[in-house]
Amino acid sequence: MRLSKRQLSALETMGIPAWQERVPTDFPKAQDQVPTEQFVPVNEGVSETSVPEAETALPIQDTSTWDWSTLEAAVRDCQQCSLHVGRSQAVFGAGSQQADWMLIGEAPGEEEDKQGLPFVGRAGQLLDRMLAAIGLKREQVYIANIVKCRPPGNRDPKPEEAAACSAYLKRQIELVNPRVILVLGKVAAHHLLDTEEALGKLRGAPYLYADTGIPVIVTYHPAYLLRKPSEKRKSWEDLKLAVKLAGGNL
Ligand code: URA
């Protein structure tokens, strides 16, 4: 099947070489509903998690009644894990609170820690191009991270750090109530879906977030795509699936 001009231009925006125009595009039409049985409930079909218990158990606060300003103030002042020691500031999240799309990354990096905004470094620039490829601007989506404070040396967040932050992210998801959640990268996927499955196995099928009907799509982290541009083609397939689940059209 030939790609439309719009799809070709989307591929170009993401920096996918023109030869990939021959990639099969036999996706169902975007407006088609995905049958419920195609959803993989979180933790079903993936191996048992062995994420270790937090070494120092921290109280998970009940954030379920918090509004945006209460939530943001709590994150700004948060000292629930040791990441607060090294941060310049917490990176709460950004974008439209009414967004259809929620994007979830791993943790702020150096630039995000400086600016207080998610995905503003090089990976963020590629993320903007990925969004542009599906006709979205960053202001139209909501972007958050698993942990709100930069881990030292950009290491992966530890399980206890993710656990300490999880009630904040959960409330962000409840408040936005998006039509689709796009999870960026292995680390974010492992924490959000509570699995240790390889990213290559997690992508390509929709999951459901917790007890909600919100579909979750896993794709590669833009920082990984910068290192391995040949994987952008798979990421483009993930974006198309997410568009379909969000009820959109390409
Ligand atoms: N990588 C992430 O996972 N999140 C950011 O905000 C920036 C880089």
**Which of 22-31, 35-44, 75-84, 176-185 comes out lowest in average pLDDT?**
22-31
How far apart CA 62 and CA 235 sit, in angstroms, is: 35
Mean pLDDT of 65-87: 97
Mean pLDDT of 46-56: 38
Phi, psi of 193 (to 5 degrees): -100, 0
pLDDT of residue 58: 55
Instruction: Please tell me the distance between residue 199's alpha carbon and the centre of ligand 1 in angstroms.
Output: 17
Mean pLDDT of 217-227: 98
pLDDT of residue 193: 95
Pairwise pLDDT comparison (190 vs 57), residue with the higher score: 190
Does the beta carbon of 113 lie inside 6 Å of ligand 1? no
pLDDT digits (tens, 9 = 90+) for 121-134: 999 999 999 999 99
Does the beta carbon of 123 lie inside 6 Å of ligand 1? yes
What share of the chain has pLDDT > 70, as a percent? 79
**Taking the model in full, what pTM does it have?**
0.83
Residues 6+ apart with CB under 8 A from 174: 64
For residue 189, pLDDT over 80 is answered with yes
Pairwise pLDDT comparison (73 vs 22), residue with the higher score: 73
Query: Residue 172 is inside which H or E element, if any?
Result: helix 159-176
Considering the chain, what is the average pLDDT of its residues? Answer: 85
User: Tokens 């998690």 appear where?
Assistant: 49
Mean pLDDT of 53-77: 80
C-alpha atoms less than 13 angstroms from C-alpha of 170 in its C-beta half-sphere: 18
Does the beta carbon of 215 lie inside 6 Å of ligand 1? no
Instruction: Please tell me the distance between residue 24's alpha carbon and the centre of ligand 1 in angstroms.
Output: 31
Domains of the chain and any CATH numbers: 5-22+35-245 (3.40.470.10)
pLDDT of residue 40: 52
pLDDT of residue 13: 80
Pocket probe mutation, ligand 1, options 87, 110, 112, max atoms within 8 Å of Cβ: 112
How far apart CA 29 and CA 67 sit, in angstroms, is: 37
Mean pLDDT of 16-37: 39
Residues 6+ apart with CB under 8 A from 186: 198, 199, 221
DSSP-derived 3-state class of residue 137: coil
pLDDT digits (tens, 9 = 90+) for 84-131: 999 999 999 999 999 999 999 999 999 999 999 999 999 999 999 999
